Amino acid sequence: GAVVSQHPSRVICKSGTSVKIECRSLDFQATTMFWYRQFPKQSLMLMATSNEGSKATYEQGVEKDKFLINHASLTLSTLTVTSAHPEDSSFYICSARVSGGGYNSPLHFGNGTRLTVT
Amino acid sequence: GENVEQHPSTLSVQEGDSAVIKCTYSDSASNYFPWYKQELGKGPQLIIDIRSNVGEKKDQRIAVTLNKTAKHFSLHITETQPEDSAVYFCAASPPSFGNEKLTFGTGTRLTIIP
């Protein structure tokens, strides 16, 4: 149980275009989802916390107008990288906890999206 | 905010031997400490976690120990196998009911030598 599905797994886009990444909780509801970014051989850096039905909370230094997050339902959050540039190339990973899963319920991760901007 | 340090950054172990990865954290309010395994091109997978009301937890070949006084916790893998080769991340979090954030360590690349 507690599967997080992320799509697409890989995407290549041209500079200036926008890319949407979907994150779905397949067998549970998630009031909150988290979006991370990971550079090669580095740790996971939290970008934003996505809250169902409300605005996302962005970490310091993350441009909210560039990384648009929408959490329209209890099972889907989307991250849109707008006007992508080569420096946005990275591995983006979403994660979620089971809503009402109790104290310190585990955080489950998707398999990530490798974005390459040419 | 929380700061998590992880050592070593790389670790090579002969198959069958044990591997130990250590982490320290800075925020005494943290009380949840998960460990994740990440294989190449995939997202992190939770392998074990520990809460601050226990000092040790074991699941088959994997164990985690926690020293709250010293603010450090460790992952122990015994009888290592080639499929244990991956990057391992420790993390720390304050008490969480849903939206509290995990702070990750910098990762350890574990290589099991056949």
Taking the C-alpha atoms of residue B71 and residue B53, their distance in angstroms, rounded to an integer, is 13
Contact A34 B101 (CB under 8 A): yes
> How many Å apart are CA B113 and CA B80, to the nearest integer?
9
Size of interface A-B (CB pairs under 8 A): 64
pLDDT of residue A40: 87
Residues in chain A: 118
Beta bridge partners of B77: B19, B62
**pLDDT (tens digit per residue) in B44-96:** 999 999 988 789 999 999 999 999 999 999 999 999 999 999 999 999 987 76
Cβ–Cβ contact B45 with A under 8 A: yes
Given this model, what pLDDT does residue A101 score?
Answer: 62
Q: Is A22 exposed, middle or buried (0-12, 13-18, 19+ CB in 10 A)?
A: middle
Q: Which of these ranges, A35-39, A49-53, A99-103, B40-44, has the smallest mean pLDDT?
A: A99-103
Q: Is the pLDDT of residue B98 over 80?
A: no
- Per-residue pLDDT, averaged over B9-18, amounts to 98
pLDDT at A104 over 70: no
Nearest CB to B42; choose among A97, A101, A111: A111
Instruction: Determine contact: A78 vs chain B, CB below 8 A.
Output: no
What percent of chain B is predicted at pLDDT more than 70? 96
Q: Does A60 touch chain B (CB under 8 A)?
A: no
- Average pLDDT for A18-35: 92
Copy the structure tokens of residue A82. 């707008």
User: Quick one: pLDDT at residue A52?
Assistant: 86
Give the best residue of A46, A107, A111 to mutate against chain B (max B CB count within 10 A): A107
Q: CB–CB of A104 and B36 under 8 A?
A: no
pLDDT at residue A76 is higher than 90: yes
Say if A116 is an interface residue toward chain B (CB within 8 Å).
no
Tell me the C-alpha distance between A84 and A113, whole Å. 14
Q: Provide mean pLDDT across the span A94-116.
A: 83
Name which of B4, B23, B2 is nearest B94 in CA terms: B2
